[in-house]
Amino acid sequence: MAPKKRWEMFIAILGCSTFVLFMTYKVSFNWYDEYKVLQEERHWSGFGPEQGNYSFTVVTGLFDIGRGRWMTSWRTYNDYLGYLLQILKLDVNLIVFIEKKGVPFVERNRRGREGRTRIYEMDIMDLEYFPLLKDITNIMQSQQFQVRELVRVM
């Protein structure tokens, strides 16, 4: 076998093994993401007497769009639960739009502020732009998007 061919084969094998290692790394750390959220949640002592600013309302939402399974993203649903936890800890009026699987998480972390919290359980398919998900997915999987050449600033 010619040296050039051996080198190309080595790179191909290295590329495949890197991909397998990357996927193993992503899958093996999903349990850790969940652990981190549970640890943060355990250390949250809850709300004391009402002392917050209640002259405004924070509106937020969380839907699992499967980002943890994308090749270009490291953030899992559990990562976003951790970010949501920081919002849930705010002593403010709060409206949360969330899927059924996230409702217990919100309820647990808003104990003591139930009267200042509105939870709207929704399915991702109920969102106004859900019909565009296939188009959005196609764009995100395109070569242009992967190398971030889709939009260029002049």
pTM of the model: 0.64
CA angle 29, 81, 99 (to 5 degrees): 115
Query: Residue 95's beta-bridge partner residues?
Result: 59, 118
Query: pLDDT over 70 for what percent of the chain?
Result: 65
Statement: residue 147 has pLDDT above 60: yes
Are 99 and 127 contacting, i.e. CB atoms less than 8 angstroms apart? no
79-135 pLDDT per residue, tens: 889 899 999 999 999 999 999 999 999 999 999 999 999 999 999 888 888 888 888
Statement: residue 11 has pLDDT above 50: no
Of 100, 23, 16, the C-alpha closest to 63 is 100
Cβ contacts of residue 89 below 8 Å, gap of 6+? Answer: 44, 109
Q: How confident is the model at residue 32 (pLDDT cuts 50, 70, 90)?
A: low
Q: Where are the domains of the chain?
A: 53-124
Cβ contacts of residue 52 below 8 Å, gap of 6+? Answer: 90, 91, 92, 116
Statement: residue 18 has pLDDT above 60: no
